[in-house]
Amino acid sequence: MTIQEQPVNFENYQRKDFSSDSDVRWCPGCGDYSILAQMQRVMPAICKEMQIPRENIAFISGIGCSSRFPYYMNTYGFHTIHGRAPTIATGLSLSRPELQVWVITGDGDGLSIGANHLIHALRRNINIKILLFNNRIYGLTKGQYSPTSELGKKTKSSPMGSMETPINPLTTAIVSEATFVARAIATDSKQLQDILLRVAKHKGAAFIEILQNCNVFNDGAFDDYADKSARAERTVTLEHGKPLVFGKDRDKTFTLSPTSAGLGLDIVKMADLPESELIIHNESADHNYLARLLASLDEDDYPVPLGVFRCIDKPRYGELLDDQIKQATLNQGRGVLMDHLRAGDTWQVN
Amino acid sequence: MTDNNELKRDSIEIEGAVIRFAGDSGDGIQVTGSLFTHGSALLGHDVSTLPDFPAEIRAPVGTLPGVSSFQLNFSSYDIHTPGDQPDVLVAMNPAALKVNLGELAPGGTIILNSDSFTPADLAKADYAVDPREDLTLSGYQVYPIPISSMTVNAVAPSGLGIKQASLCKNMFTLGIVSWLYDRTIEAIIVFIDKRYGNSRPEMAAANKLALQAGYNYAETVEMFTGKFHVSAANLPSGTYRRITGNEATAMGVLAASELSGRPLFYASYPITPASDILHELSKLRHFGVRTVQAEDEIAAMGIAIGAAYGGSLGLTGTSGPGMALKAEAIGLAVMAELPVVVLNVQRGGPSTGLPTKTEQADLLQAMFGRNGESPLAVIAPSGPADCFYMAIEAFRLAIKYMTPVIYLSDGYIANGSEPWRLPTQAELPVINVKFHTDTERPLPYARDPETLARPWIIPGTPGLEHRIGGLEKEDGTGAVSYDSENHQIMVRLRAEKIQRIANDIPLLEVHGPKQGDLLVLGWGSTSGAIRQAVDRASKKGLSIAAAHLRYINPWPLNLGEVLRNYRHVLVPELNSGQLRLLLRAEFLIDIIGLNKVKGRPFLTSEIEAKITEILAGQGTRQQKRKSRQQIASR
């Protein structure tokens, strides 16, 4: 526990103000270190830009390697039980709307044991920020396949290969009507910080898949495109209002595939496409078609989209609830306990 | 007044009566029963009710599984139960007669809807022969009345179609029974106007026509030998209302919120028989009450914990199957030492069990149904009105001791009702809430030396940022600790903290002599039947007393001493002996059980019979030996 001797003006937080005195105990080389570092680096900017003091920030996690995260942040933190972090965060956020509530989860915690809660927190548009660290493996229990592991994955619990089609975190979030959906690579510090800052500012349920390498049990899971040398050709960064461009020479883009009735994407050379036919990324579109299409691209055949898929404004459960409280109080007057007990039919005994 | 005097002139004064209304679940039986109860309460009677309805939303009309009933005991003296045997059975169809006849008192009165005794309806009730035409009903006073057809005729002026019109037959019935018990129908008319007056005036008119017609019919036909009058009961003075257990629970948790100044946050997943609490609390937005219908039972528990972590009164409510799902998260609240209240309105189990029937079989689950040693407070209201006070107690203890509290109600208390003398503001306790803000004493697991409670530090408190969780805590700092000595200390501290609640709850009160031959000890909804059985036995001159546990973990400090003041202790429970198991283990006393698991509450007569057996046989040991010998000789 680090106790701040004097209250810090939230204009002037430093990175160190957000690191607790707990020893960080992830395996050396774990992708989680980078995520923690980017969060601690970006927190001063979040507090400054949003005018929020450190004590109003809470990190809630479930179980798994990723869920150790709150211990290392010098904010309020609650390391809860497997899969249930979104529920505890929901209770906290709805009862204390002024707090900034983050949920830290992983592919097992969030998409296996806790998938139900994840879906419902997103569709209710609870004002919480869910970071899902996806390493496509169970790390804390030492190496079983996870719900995002690829079909055929050989692990201790699947020596002849996993027989399960993996779940797609992003399409799951999008069809659950999350109002902010993004993907980042743990080791891309600049992009991750930018997205974390945007997530902090988003009002409503935000979901970010962070591709994070488990160097012990699933090393190199994302090397094919997360590696710096491969990123230009193998990833595409989504930018609102701009065409979807990728490639070392930024010469490639997508077009709606004529062979699948426009329901898929084909890769084309920029030069071969008239400017008027470029697909412009629109993260705030009313519909989620393009976001879904981009999120479902097969990583073996297409570059992997990174950045913000969707960012829309929709009524938030917490505000609707508080509006009902205001409305009921306006209509009925603030309730009075003794009157409430006496409401209805009473009689007098003398 | 003149009218009343005239009415009374030709009526027979009786102390009270037990009426059971029974019919198809679509016949409006619960409304009929509730309205008659309401009328009784307004007349100053003491009342106690037992609704009984099928688990199926709509079983096929006219069949045995579709029978719904509502029993009411109303009286001019203090009563504790809905009555063992109805004196009057109103049966709206043959199935209702078949299901309920066995429990009618010998010589009892039966009012039948004779329109429904058609060959088809008789067949649905598995009657090969019309029970009115063989010896089935001999020994009873039977009044066959063509209720359906007379209702349709009476309602004709309202212009309703036949189907809608026949729905008013429950009002016709209510008219008949109102006349029979010498009461006016004004209170029911007021109710009808309130319910339909504005929205559906034609329904209001039709219901009133049916009600009046039933009353007039009973007065005119001279079928009944006489009518009965029950005087007002001698209840303590005050303002009264009628209340069910679920209503009282909802009011109690609201009161806890108002008394503590902390907002109430209720998260729940719909489940019989607890859903009414969600419905009641959802209406209270103007008190700042937040409710969430969660995606499942686990989420409801998690949301309540999150709310408690944030400084609200975190509450969830469910029944047995939901408790099973919440167990892991309740364990988290034990470890994180957060004040959260879990309402369990028990029903028959295991598994889905008997959703609409009552049982007390979740006691051991409440005590021990979590992984590891995870002690928490367990309390149980003794009746519908007591739910109000015990719900306040649940939060008082949760906050003061920073612990989850399990509150064990059951289906019988939840849906049963009784008159409740409303408390004054001064009669309600004060609940002090102090969030910890002192940065000089920053440790989240530093304990209050008296209660052993840890401080309640809520997010948003400057300078006290800290981390908690489900991993074992280091004593004092709350940091994660895998140290073996520390674990033992923490296990003991958590147990000791709960045990210290015993210093903060009332001693067990005994009703009757302070020592003697037999103590009948109960918990939860058995209170009324036990009290009545013990009163009757003591009138016969037996040396007997009753006591009732409302606090189960920990229990009152004088419990052991009380138990040892009697030669025998009998514990009636609607389970196979769960409290008895706990008491035997703790006090090494050979407690006798009376155990029933039929989905229905005890009859007073069942407890009386057991009392007689114990005291007449001079000790159960002989009887036990005898029965053991009998078993051995088979």
What are the structural domains, with CATH classification, of chain B?
A: 2-230 (3.40.920.10), 242-427 (3.40.50.970), 434-504 (no CATH), 510-633 (3.40.50.920)
Chain-centroid distance of CA B408 in Å reads 10
Q: Are A306 and A294 in contact (CB under 8 A)?
A: no
Q: Are A264 and A139 in contact (CB under 8 A)?
A: no
Evaluate whether residue A277 is within a structural domain: no
Q: What are the residues whose beta carbons fall under 8 Å from the beta carbon of B488, sequence distance 6 or more?
A: none
pLDDT for B344 beyond 70: yes
- B23-41 pLDDT per residue, tens: 998 888 998 998 899 888 8
Name the percent of chain B lying above pLDDT 70: 95
Q: What is the mean pLDDT of residues B164-191?
A: 92
Interface list for B 443-462 with A (CB within 8 A): 443, 458-462
Helices (H), B156-274: 162-166, 169-180, 186-196, 201-221, 245-260
CA atoms within 13 A on the CB side of B547: 26
**Three-class SS of residue B263?**
coil
Q: Which residues of A touch B336 (CB under 8 A)?
A: 78
Q: What is the pLDDT of residue B628?
A: 52
Segments of B530-631 assigned E as strands: 544-549, 551-553, 566-573, 592-595
User: CB count, 10 Å around CB of B198?
Assistant: 9
CATH number of the domain enclosing A112:
3.40.50.970
Q: What is the pTM of this model?
A: 0.91
Q: What is the pLDDT of residue B333?
A: 98
pLDDT for B396 beyond 90: yes
Query: What's the CA gap between B445 and B449, in Å, rounded?
Result: 12
pLDDT for B415 beyond 60: yes
pLDDT for A86 beyond 60: yes
Check CB contact of B35 with chain A, cutoff 8 Å. no
Strand-by-strand arrangement of the B566-573 sheet: B510-511, B544-549, B516-523, B566-573, B592-595
Q: What is the mean pLDDT of residues A134-163?
A: 97
Q: What is the pLDDT of residue B2?
A: 39
Nearest-Cα distance to chain A for B444, in Å, is 10
Split at pLDDT 50, 70, 90, the class of B240 is: very high
Angle between helices B169-180 and B201-221 (to 10 degrees): 40
Split at pLDDT 50, 70, 90, the class of B214 is: very high
pLDDT for B108 beyond 90: yes
Q: How many domains are there within chain A? A: 1
pLDDT for B212 beyond 70: yes
Query: What's the CA gap between B248 and B545, in Å, rounded?
Result: 28
Helices (H), B156-200: 162-166, 169-180, 186-196
Q: What is the pLDDT of residue A231?
A: 95
Query: What's the CA gap between B598 and B358, in Å, rounded?
Result: 8
Q: What are the residues whose beta carbons fall under 8 Å from the beta carbon of A272, sequence distance 6 or more?
A: none
- Put simply, the answer to whether B296 touches A329 (Cβ < 8 Å) is no
Q: Are B403 and B497 in contact (CB under 8 A)?
A: yes
Q: Which residues of B touch A120 (CB under 8 A)?
A: 294-295, 299
Query: What's the CA gap between B160 and A337, in Å, rounded?
Result: 42
**Closest residue on chain B to A120 (Cα):** B295
Residue B420's DSSP bridge partners are B241
- A241-255 pLDDT per residue, tens: 999 999 999 999 999
Q: What is the mean pLDDT of residues B163-169?
A: 90
Check CB contact of B253 with chain A, cutoff 8 Å. no
- Put simply, the answer to whether A91 touches B304 (Cβ < 8 Å) is yes
- Put simply, the answer to whether B239 touches A58 (Cβ < 8 Å) is no
Q: What is the pLDDT of residue B9?
A: 41
Evaluate whether residue A247 is within a structural domain: no
User: CB count, 10 Å around CB of B8?
Assistant: 13
End-to-end CA distance of chain B: 69
Check CB contact of B439 with chain A, cutoff 8 Å. yes
Place of tokens 């970071």: A131
Nearest-Cα distance to chain B for A95, in Å, is 6
- Put simply, the answer to whether A92 touches B336 (Cβ < 8 Å) is no
Nearest-Cα distance to chain B for A94, in Å, is 8
Split at pLDDT 50, 70, 90, the class of B630 is: low
Instruction: Give the number of A-B residue pairs with CB atoms closer than 8 Å.
Output: 217
pLDDT for B621 beyond 60: no
Lowest-confidence region among A115-124, B215-224, B543-552:
B215-224
Q: What is the pLDDT of residue B619?
A: 42
**Maximum Cα–Cα distance across chain A:** 95
Look at residues A230, A262, A241 and name the one whose alpha carbon lies nearest to residue A308: A241
Evaluate whether residue A89 is within a structural domain: yes
* Six-digit token string for B633: 């000789």
Evaluate whether residue A19 is within a structural domain: yes
Q: What is the mean pLDDT of residues A169-190?
A: 97
Q: What is the mean pLDDT of residues A104-110?
A: 98
Fill in the amino acid letter for B366.
A
Helices (H), A124-277: 169-175, 189-201, 223-226, 228-234
Q: What is the pLDDT of residue B616?
A: 84
The whole-chain average pLDDT of chain B stands at 93
Split at pLDDT 50, 70, 90, the class of A8 is: low
Query: What's the CA gap between A32 and A282, in Å, rounded?
Result: 30
Nearest-Cα distance to chain B for A307, in Å, is 30
The whole-chain average pLDDT of chain A stands at 95
Q: Are B94 and B63 in contact (CB under 8 A)?
A: no
pLDDT for A209 beyond 50: yes
- Put simply, the answer to whether A90 touches B302 (Cβ < 8 Å) is yes
* Domain that includes residue A74, residue range: 15-221+315-321
pLDDT for B622 beyond 60: no
Q: Are strands B16-24 and B67-75 parallel, antiparallel or unpaired?
A: antiparallel
Q: What are the residues whose beta carbons fall under 8 Å from the beta carbon of B381, sequence distance 6 or more?
A: B245, B248, B249, B387, B389, B390, B391, B407, B409, B413, B524, B550
Residue of B235, B303, B312, B468 best to disrupt the A interface, most CBs of A under 10 A = B303
Split at pLDDT 50, 70, 90, the class of B625 is: low
Residues for chain B: how many in total? 634
- Put simply, the answer to whether A346 touches B301 (Cβ < 8 Å) is no
**In this structure, what are the phi and psi dihedrals at residue A141, rounded to the nearest 5 degrees?**
-95, 10
For the question of an ipTM over 0.90, the answer is yes
Split at pLDDT 50, 70, 90, the class of B408 is: very high
Residue of A88, A102, A120 best to disrupt the B interface, most CBs of B under 10 A = A88
pLDDT for A283 beyond 80: yes
Query: What's the CA gap between B525 and B416, in Å, rounded?
Result: 10
Q: What is the mean pLDDT of residues B447-467?
A: 97
Angle between helices A189-201 and A32-50 (to 10 degrees): 40
CA–CA–CA angle A81, A86, A89 (5° rounding): 95
Split at pLDDT 50, 70, 90, the class of B626 is: low
Q: What is the mean pLDDT of residues B408-430?
A: 95
Split at pLDDT 50, 70, 90, the class of B629 is: low
Evaluate whether residue A187 is within a structural domain: yes
- B50-63 pLDDT per residue, tens: 998 887 766 788 99
The shortest CB-CB distance from A117 to any of B41, B241, B295 is to B295
Q: What is the pLDDT of residue B285?
A: 98
Look at residues B80, B43, B77 and name the one whose alpha carbon lies nearest to residue B178: B43
Q: What is the mean pLDDT of residues B506-526?
A: 98
* Six-digit token string for B92: 């709206």
Q: What is the pLDDT of residue A7?
A: 55
Q: Are B587 and B415 in contact (CB under 8 A)?
A: no
